[in-house]
Structure 1
Amino acid sequence: MLRIAVLVSGGGTNLQALIDAQNRGEIPNGKITLVISSRPDAYALKRAQKAGIGTKVLRRREFAQQEAYDTALLRLLDENQTSLVILAGFMTIISGRVIRAYENRILNIHPSLIPAFCGEGFYGLRVHEAALARGVRVTGATVHFVNEICDGGPIILQKAVEVKPGDTPELLQRRVMEQAEWKILPQAVALFCGGSLQVQNGRVEIKEAAE
């Protein structure tokens, strides 16, 4: 059973999708055992506590240097015997040191079809505002491994979502969450925990599950 740590900063809707999937038995080889929040008031912490999952708060501002923060984060992950790290709306920078320690073991969910509307400055409603401003007809979400390039890691799963006339950023954000993010994030976690993901030359190969 792989031990999973989920890093959060806000409401935790993607965390809830993972908890629900786990409760339905859809992540058979993995278990969420730790939720780390960058804010003590994040509602995601309440979701975790309600589900009986251990929580920690780690605030970047409490550390004078990135190196000290990295050490504290890695210590928490190590104490949890973490096999997989999931960034679920985590708004604190993950350094190269942490990424290297968990190479191809950190997943992120991004609310667009990468490489569209991604990278530096594209997060939250900004992604959907940009999509609407560009006039795209289709958007969606992407789950990818994290590397040292912002939103540049190998893509695992993507799901398209229709952009409708009259959409606001808020309406589009909700549709992308409901129709894409909450579906493909648990799927990607299940694939990882089942040993079905392999990174070759910067691309993800999804292997058939063993009989």
Structure 2
Amino acid sequence: MLRIAVLVSGGGTNLQAIIDAIAAGKITDTEIAAVISNNRNAYALERAKQAGIKDIVVSPKDFETRDVFNENLLKILQEVNPDLIVLAGYLVVIPEIVIDAFENRIINIHPSLIPAFCGTGYYGLKVHEAALKRGVKVVGATVHFVDKGTDTGPIIMQKAVAVQNGDTPKVLQQRVMEQAEWNILPAAIDKIAHGKVRIEDGITVVED
């Protein structure tokens, strides 16, 4: 049984996709041990409560320094003791002490086809604004392992989504979530749960 901790900052639509996929049997041999948020007002915490999942708030605002927050986040994660940490719209930079403690056991969903429109400053609607401004015809989402760079870890899965005439950033964001994010994040978790993802020379190998 794969124990996962899901880290969230906002509405928790990707969290809901994971909860629904487990309920529907699309993700098997997996349980959500805890949902952790930096934002006590995040609707994702309500989703966790409704699903009977332990919810935890640990916010940088509650600590004197970022270092103290980092230490507390690590402590809470070690208490939860997940096999895998899933970043599902988590807007806090993961501290290096957490990355070291959970090496190759943290994954993130990013709303673009990495390496396009990723890195520092590219999050949420900003990604889709940049894609439309550049005039690309295909966008998408990427699930990747987290390393000490920003969106630089080994790529696990990607799914492309077509840009349509008249798209706004909000409309495009919704389409990318519905057609890509909510599909590949659960799929990647299920693959990891069944030992079908490994890293070789910095590149992931995903078995059928």
Q: In the alignment, what sits opposite 1:193?
A: 193
CA distance in 2, matches of 1:131, 1:137: 9
Counterpart of 1:53 in structure 2 is 53
The aligned residue for residue 183 of structure 1 is 183
Is the contact between residue 87 and residue 106 of structure 2 (CA under 8 Å) also seen in structure 1? yes
The C-alpha deviation readout for 1:24-79, integer Å capped at 9, x for no partner, is 11221211110001111100000010000000000112122232212211221121
The residue aligned with 2:135 is 135
Residue correspondence of structure 1 range 62-211 to structure 2 within 5 A: 62-208=62-208
Q: Any idea what SS the aligned residue of 1:20 has?
A: helix
Separation of aligned partners in 2, 1:147 and 1:2 = 21
- Cα deviations across residues 134-162 of structure 1 (Å, max 9, x unaligned)? 00000000000000110000000000000
| 1:152-175 Cα distance to aligned partner (Å, 9 max, x none) | 000000000000000000000000
Amino acid at match of 2:6: V
Q: Distance between the aligned counterparts of 2:159 and 2:206, measured in 1?
A: 16
How many residue pairs match? The answer is 208
Q: Which runs of 5+ in 2 are unaligned?
A: none
DSSP 3-state at the match of 1:164: coil
| TM-score normalised according to structure 1 size | 0.96
The structure 1 segments of at least 4 consecutive aligned residues displaced by more than 4 Å after TM superposition are none
SS across alignment from 1:89: coil
AA at the equivalent of 1:204: T
CA RMSD of aligned residues (A): 0.9
Which amino acid in structure 2 is aligned with residue 112 of structure 1?
S
Residue identity (%):
56
1:2 positional shift: 1.7
State which drifts further: 65-74 or 53-62: 65-74
Give TM-score scaled by structure 2 length: 0.98
